[in-house]
Amino acid sequence: MGPHDVAFDITFCGICHSDLHQVKSEWGPSHYPQVPGHELVGVVSTVGAAVTKFKPGDKVGVGCFVASCRSCKQCSRGFENYCAKSEFTYNSPPDAEGRLTYGGYSSKTVVHEDFVLRMPDALAMDAAAPLLCAGITTYSPMKIHGIDKPGMRVGVLGLGGLGSMAVQFGAAFGCEVTVISTSPGKEAASRELGAKHFLVSSNEEAMKAAAGSLDAIVDTVSAQHDIGTYLGLLDVGGRVVIVGVPPQPFSLHAFSLIGGGKSVTGSLVGGIPQTQEMLDFCAEKGIVSKIELIAIDQVNEAFARLVKNDVNGRFVIDMSTLKA
Ligand code: NAP
Ligand code: ZN
């Protein structure tokens, strides 16, 4: 414990597809031993002498990073997520003393108060855990790229953990949301979350009929896919924001962009101020993740089901099962 550290007992931790990518070292060499988990929530047990923001008993959360330089342009703008020296909650390179950071599949953690979020009372802690990554990763680009205007026609590509959040945010912003999915069986779930339209990407006729019908697409797909196909769904001037991170690079024909003045951009989680703003927005609107609660000894099974796209929302680990 340093003077600015907050120690908390972790009660729940979401399972992000990024955990799977990193456990399997799919994004370049991972660091081991690895304790995954960057959607952790819990209750403060102890605080360092200089901590001003939290006290024992507070409900808190931690997302994808736990440190940054605090002095660069990005840190001063509240975009610590883009600081070149930010440290991920787990799987960051070892520090000068060779120490690694360890994530949320754990009973306790210690994090500097500047990277700890306040969990609103109105949100159930288990269903709110995924907001710390899946929530902010979709909320942030939707806000930054103006994909938050009533009436805007917004596509969400992939209805997994991130996609389910993007649909709810789009609906809460008053947008007309279309889910584009490889899974015909997810239509009812998409409508429950607030989607108005549901497109099955293998249905060529429906895809053709929907050409030019969207202003923006949030691409949350975790596996290799042809982005060019989906650019055809955009109207002139439309934009795809990539948040999914398939292990392989993608290719794109220039005509699919220049033909309609379209653009492709990307986004990495979100900064601390915007994460707190998102949590407060979710509390106001009653937005949480759809979850399947599991015990710690079901993690490997959950990973296997995630690979098979066999999950409705997000797996969340109930950390009380670790102590049992
Ligand atoms: P997830 O729950 O597994 O959802 C991914 C969805 O992608 C699936 O539900 C599926 O939706 C779709 N999909 C899967 N395989 C596909 C394929 N071959 N072709 C087309 N669609 C396919 O994963 P997640 O936790 O939401 O994470 C999604 C991606 O975002 C991962 O790559 C993760 O690492 C990345 N991520 C990025 C950030 C960031 O900061 N940018 C943050 C967190 C996560 P349908 O069944 O509807 O097709
Ligand atoms: Zn994540």
CA 242 to chain centre: 12
Domain extent for 295? 5-133+270-321
Q: How many domains does the chain have?
A: 2
**Inter-residue contact 138 to 165 (CB < 8 Å):** yes
Q: Quote the pLDDT of residue 61.
A: 98
**What is the DSSP secondary structure assignment for residue 212, as one 8-state letter?**
T
Residue 164 has, within 13 A of its CA and on its CB side, a CA count of 24
Strand partners, 234: 214
Q: Does the beta carbon of 38 sit less than 6 angstroms from any atom of ligand 1?
A: no
Strand partners, 42: 10, 60
Asked whether residue 72 falls in the same domain as residue 109, the answer is yes
Asked whether residue 100 falls in the same domain as residue 155, the answer is no
From the CA of 305, which ligand is nearest?
1
Q: How many Å lie between the centroid of ligand 2 and the Cα of residue 269?
A: 8
Q: Does the beta carbon of 110 sit less than 6 angstroms from any atom of ligand 1?
A: no
Asked whether residue 260 falls in the same domain as residue 199, the answer is yes
Asked whether residue 15 falls in the same domain as residue 101, the answer is yes
Q: Which ligand 1 atom sits closest to the C-alpha of 18?
A: 34
Asked whether residue 252 falls in the same domain as residue 139, the answer is yes
Q: Which residue has the tokens 């102890």?
A: 46
Asked whether residue 315 falls in the same domain as residue 232, the answer is no
Nearest residue by C-alpha to atom 8 in ligand 1: 160
How many residues would you count in the chain? 324
Rounded Cα distance, 42 and 110, in Å: 11
Longest CA–CA span in the chain (Å) reads 64
Asked whether residue 160 falls in the same domain as residue 44, the answer is no
Asked whether residue 282 falls in the same domain as residue 235, the answer is no
The CATH number covering residue 226 comes to 3.40.50.720
Q: How many Å lie between the centroid of ligand 2 and the Cα of residue 251?
A: 24
Q: Quote the pLDDT of residue 187.
A: 98
Q: Does the beta carbon of 181 sit less than 6 angstroms from any atom of ligand 1?
A: yes
Asked whether residue 19 falls in the same domain as residue 86, the answer is yes
All residue ranges of the chain with pLDDT < 50 are: none
**What is the DSSP secondary structure assignment for residue 59, as one 8-state letter?**
E
Nearest Cα to Cα of residue 155 among 184, 193, 181, 135: 181
How are the residues of the chain apportioned to helix, strand and coil, as percentages rounded to the nearest 5?
30, 25, 45
Three-state secondary-structure class, residue 55: coil
Q: Which residue has the tokens 């008053």?
A: 174
Q: Does the beta carbon of 243 sit less than 6 angstroms from any atom of ligand 1?
A: yes
Q: Quote the pLDDT of residue 324.
A: 59
Q: Quote the pLDDT of residue 28.
A: 86
Rounded Cα distance, 121 and 190, in Å: 27
Q: How many Å lie between the centroid of ligand 2 and the Cα of residue 314?
A: 11
Which residue intervals of the chain are DSSP H helices?
17-23, 73-76, 125-128, 134-144, 161-172, 187-193, 204-209, 227-231, 255-258, 272-285, 299-307, 320-323
Domain boundary among the residues 266, 281, 309 is at 266
Strand partners, 293: 316
Q: How many Å lie between the centroid of ligand 2 and the Cα of residue 272?
A: 15
Cis amide prior to 33 (ω within 30 degrees)? yes
Asked whether residue 88 falls in the same domain as residue 13, the answer is yes
Q: How many Å lie between the centroid of ligand 2 and the Cα of residue 232?
A: 28
Asked whether residue 21 falls in the same domain as residue 51, the answer is yes
Rounded Cα distance, 36 and 64, in Å: 10
Phi-psi region of 122 (alpha: psi -120 to 50; beta: other; left: phi over 0): alpha
The CATH number covering residue 69 comes to 3.90.180.10
- For 72-83, the DSSP string reads SHHHHTT-GGG-
Q: Does the beta carbon of 268 sit less than 6 angstroms from any atom of ligand 1?
A: yes
Six token digits for residue 160 = 């997994």
Nearest Cα to Cα of residue 269 among 16, 12, 9: 16
